[in-house]
Structure 1
């Protein structure tokens, strides 16, 4: 039997040896002999140090001594003879637990080590590649514990005070437990469906800063198709999200006023047609006087008016109310779950609030109308049309009083910004009426003459104060600008359909009898009568009362100037009549 076991050991593929307790070889098999390219007699009775160099023998003897002392199996990998070897040494004891010998089996693991090294190189390469990729990459096991994290992922949590996330769950490392639980719920969904998942997450910090991240996760399946873990990729998309929000804001916002725009209105009305928002109130508003302000004071002043109206509407609107500017002077308030009575109350508040604000030149005013969508079967645009119709009915009723208010405000504004005074206007009106009566004008014509006299220079409201109040002579360019006041005044007055004749008078009061005036170069009786009258009396009042750029002259000098310019600048007949009026007035 002994010989059989000896033959068995001798023919084992793995190199094997047996040593006595003094660590001298008592048996070596063929594989061990061949491994070292020696003969059996080169080993038997000798110690390792008698055969190999000091480094190898010391390594071997240390392992053997450990087995002798602790009576346990010891396995260690060694790099000897230019190859990786795995040496397993174990004690040989009898039934009485007496140590008889120790034995070692040597296994060439060079191929395995080479594979391991290759795997390690590939692993390091993959890690380096992963570390260079943008974003945080991680791997979790089935217990939701982090098993791997790339450098950026580790740094992300280090910045939040978490030095190590390996072996921890999202609940362990995130202050926001709601968000952490959502991550875990997402993982469970991936495990159950075995499908990838991508969504956005928001990290909020104590200083109020928000960080938007896009998180993509994919299940890792084993050979049986079961989920073994989850790999994830998180990317900071804050800049992109802010840009998207900004783009969305710009696409839905009126840049001038900050209110929502027409695109938002069209999209939002579709959403508000759903039953959960009913009843939906729509308040339509149309700003009064915007065209007049744009035409006379310029679009910058018109923009200021729109901003002021927007401020009024925003102050009155409650949180659920959405303000949209859908046209040049048109606004809409969208009010989900709102009754007609509530809309009427809001309209009253808006009207009251307008009275509390003051535009530079006109009283703030907006025509308003409200309508309610009660049923999902009603077309919301029909409701909008109802509100719009109410606005324009109200506008027709208010038009005359609004225009009168605007005219008065503009006249007051002109007096505030220029050398024009109420006394000058009153004198021009009185002198013009005297001439009109002398010419036997009808009452209606006298009324129109009064308005022309009152508003003849109203267009100067749109001229810069630097030009209006300049003490010296105007430059050629400045004078060209000054001349535009007749056209500006024409547009102001023309806003009222009842004042067409007055508008023509305002436009033409600087035309000259000889055709050398402006703006159209009219001649003689081509010039409207009302304009010819105002031309004479306005010139006389300026001559006798002076301006910042011109000293006043005596009445005698002014009369001589009227005579000199008769048939050139002034209508000779009107000049004659006015001189008669002056003589009569002096006589009285």
Structure 2
């Protein structure tokens, strides 16, 4: 197609030719009448060119949007906005090019319209724009940090989430920072080019110096084979990291005492069995009388004793020592680079602190065994066996000593809490022996009766003072609580071999001949005779002395 210029000979009818089937071409005269149009134009404008009456019609009547492209400027070819046509529910978009043809007097002779199909181009640009808008929306609204950075460590772009995550005021402030020096906790933590394209966990520095744990998915953007920049997603995993650390901590620690657990101890035992750490001492500790307190006052009090024992042990040992709960009321400690003499001095301090903390309130002590490895020939597991044997030997000695004072201590516990007076217990013992002899009890039964007369109410030491010493009439709930002292006393007696013989008497000394007593509603001869005897003399003493 050749444009006609001023001075050219104008043919009577000028028909522009378009070689492809996508573009439109037509001409109009100076009075805006249609002179010619190609076949595609006819289809989109719904024209029937065989109908000669269409030629010569005003273009405005044929193409309603023509007014958008009319102009009185004939000096230069002009370009207007896009033309849009619809055919078979499809949209077609055209870039409109108009060339005016004028004569020597600069009067308009022709207008040549060339409409170039740019539908695919516009749709591609629209899709690209939507994609960019979608990316921008994701970039700005993501809860994760998103960034682009240069290879040498400067931010190119960063979203608001990353700015907030690192504690900066705005993007500009963050972008001004050197990533390697100012953002990474350690410069060596920033991956090199060949270490990208994978997920990694690291710690970053916030503006205020605080550390935040993050998971970064980073990749390298290339142009051909040349790396241009990095881009990536940064996820805050502080909470996850804390949870992982907590799980790891719990896997190595006893949840009650916060000491190391047996699993960790056994792993550390292997690690510390090294000649450079000789001599290695092992200490095993067991709480004497713990079961009695646990049964008397309940597991809550027992847990409190275990926790306080753990605190004492933490005070007595070094950071490099491994202090662990071995199970139940047993504790075990590894002391690297520690002689037996030093271990013995530590044990003496543990005994002192334990007595200060517990002995006044509870009848308890510690049995402790020590063993020391001084050469490679000794087996570390045999060392624990030796320490255990030493602890059990100590326990046997301690048991004899404790049992000899157990009864006196329990009686004293009742007196100190004003549950029973010394005079009442003396009278009860005297009356019990007199009645027992009258009933021709055996010596063994008389011994049981004497012991029961002193300790039949021992379960009361676990009942609240607010109930035991209340001057008011007990409520139903308080009365039920008071009645539990028989069961508590039974557990106390059963937990100690010296008291086991009077356990049933303690349990049933509030039973009645008619079966209306407690806790089991026994009647008649089903109630142990020692319990029946104690009930009678206790009532007699109350009537004659209160």
> 1:195 Cα deviation (Å)?
5.9
Post-superposition Cα deviations, 1:260-316, rounded to whole Å, max 9, x if no partner, equal: 444544555555557777665443222222211222222222222222222222222
Q: Secondary structure at the match of 1:488?
A: helix
Alpha-carbon spacing, 1:315–1:265, altered in 2? closer, same or farther (3 Å): same
Q: Which residue of 1 aligns with 2:187?
A: 181
Indicate conservation of the 8 Å contact 1:197/1:218, yes or no: no
Alpha-carbon spacing, 1:449–1:170, altered in 2? closer, same or farther (3 Å): same
| Counterpart Cα distance in 1 of 2:139 and 2:296 | 66
Q: Which residue of 1 aligns with 2:284?
A: 284
Q: Which residue of 1 aligns with 2:426?
A: 426
Alpha-carbon spacing, 1:446–1:156, altered in 2? closer, same or farther (3 Å): closer
Mapping of 1:211-222 within 5 angstroms?
Answer: 211-222=212-223
Q: Which residue of 2 aligns with 1:366?
A: 366
| Counterpart Cα distance in 1 of 2:171 and 2:279 | 51
Does the alignment pair 1:235 with 2:244?
Answer: no
Does the alignment pair 1:203 with 2:205?
Answer: yes
| Counterpart Cα distance in 2 of 1:344 and 1:167 | 62
Does the alignment pair 1:52 with 2:76?
Answer: yes
Q: Secondary structure at the match of 2:243?
A: helix
Alpha-carbon spacing, 1:173–1:506, altered in 2? closer, same or farther (3 Å): closer
Q: Which residue of 2 aligns with 1:152?
A: 161
> 1:362 Cα deviation (Å)?
0.8
Indicate conservation of the 8 Å contact 2:213/2:237, yes or no: yes
Post-superposition Cα deviations, 1:153-207, rounded to whole Å, max 9, x if no partner, equal: 3455571677345475325644x7xx251244x22xx34x66636122153675x
Q: Which residue of 1 aligns with 2:305?
A: 305
The structure richer in helix per residue is 1
Q: Which residue of 2 aligns with 1:223?
A: 224
Alpha-carbon spacing, 1:326–1:230, altered in 2? closer, same or farther (3 Å): same
Post-superposition Cα deviations, 1:126-161, rounded to whole Å, max 9, x if no partner, equal: 343333333222233332333333343345557167
Alpha-carbon spacing, 1:256–1:415, altered in 2? closer, same or farther (3 Å): farther
Q: Which residue of 2 aligns with 1:412?
A: 412
Q: Which residue of 2 aligns with 1:572?
A: none
Indicate conservation of the 8 Å contact 1:281/1:370, yes or no: yes
| Counterpart Cα distance in 2 of 1:496 and 1:346 | 30
Alpha-carbon spacing, 1:149–1:479, altered in 2? closer, same or farther (3 Å): closer
Mapping of 1:55-74 within 5 angstroms?
Answer: none
Alpha-carbon spacing, 1:227–1:375, altered in 2? closer, same or farther (3 Å): farther
> 1:421 Cα deviation (Å)?
1.4
Q: Which residue of 1 aligns with 2:459?
A: 459
Indicate conservation of the 8 Å contact 2:413/2:461, yes or no: yes
Q: Secondary structure at the match of 2:172?
A: coil
Post-superposition Cα deviations, 1:202-238, rounded to whole Å, max 9, x if no partner, equal: 53675x85422223333344533x6444333221111
Does the alignment pair 1:527 with 2:533?
Answer: no
| Counterpart Cα distance in 2 of 1:413 and 1:135 | 64
TM-score (norm 1): 0.62
| Counterpart Cα distance in 2 of 1:40 and 1:337 | 109
> 1:376 Cα deviation (Å)?
8.2
Post-superposition Cα deviations, 1:442-477, rounded to whole Å, max 9, x if no partner, equal: 877665544333222212223343443344665676
Name stretches of at least 5 consecutive residues in structure 1 with no aligned partner.
1-30, 43-48, 57-80, 84-107, 547-588
> 1:41 Cα deviation (Å)?
5.2
Q: Which residue of 1 aligns with 2:354?
A: 354
Alpha-carbon spacing, 1:422–1:199, altered in 2? closer, same or farther (3 Å): same
Alpha-carbon spacing, 1:129–1:405, altered in 2? closer, same or farther (3 Å): same
| Counterpart Cα distance in 1 of 2:504 and 2:275 | 56
| Counterpart Cα distance in 2 of 1:329 and 1:384 | 17
Indicate conservation of the 8 Å contact 1:514/1:524, yes or no: no
Does the alignment pair 1:130 with 2:96?
Answer: no
Post-superposition Cα deviations, 1:344-392, rounded to whole Å, max 9, x if no partner, equal: 3332221111122146731452222234566789775554444333322
> 1:398 Cα deviation (Å)?
0.5
| Counterpart Cα distance in 1 of 2:171 and 2:372 | 56
| Counterpart Cα distance in 2 of 1:323 and 1:342 | 16
Does the alignment pair 1:39 with 2:39?
Answer: no
Indicate conservation of the 8 Å contact 2:292/2:496, yes or no: no
| Counterpart Cα distance in 2 of 1:338 and 1:202 | 41
Aligned residues: 447
| Counterpart Cα distance in 1 of 2:516 and 2:134 | 91
> 1:415 Cα deviation (Å)?
2.9
| Counterpart Cα distance in 2 of 1:194 and 1:217 | 6
Post-superposition Cα deviations, 1:465-521, rounded to whole Å, max 9, x if no partner, equal: 344334466567655554443343233233332444344554454466787766663
Q: Which residue of 2 aligns with 1:328?
A: 328
Alpha-carbon spacing, 1:366–1:219, altered in 2? closer, same or farther (3 Å): farther
> 1:396 Cα deviation (Å)?
1.5
> 1:241 Cα deviation (Å)?
1.9
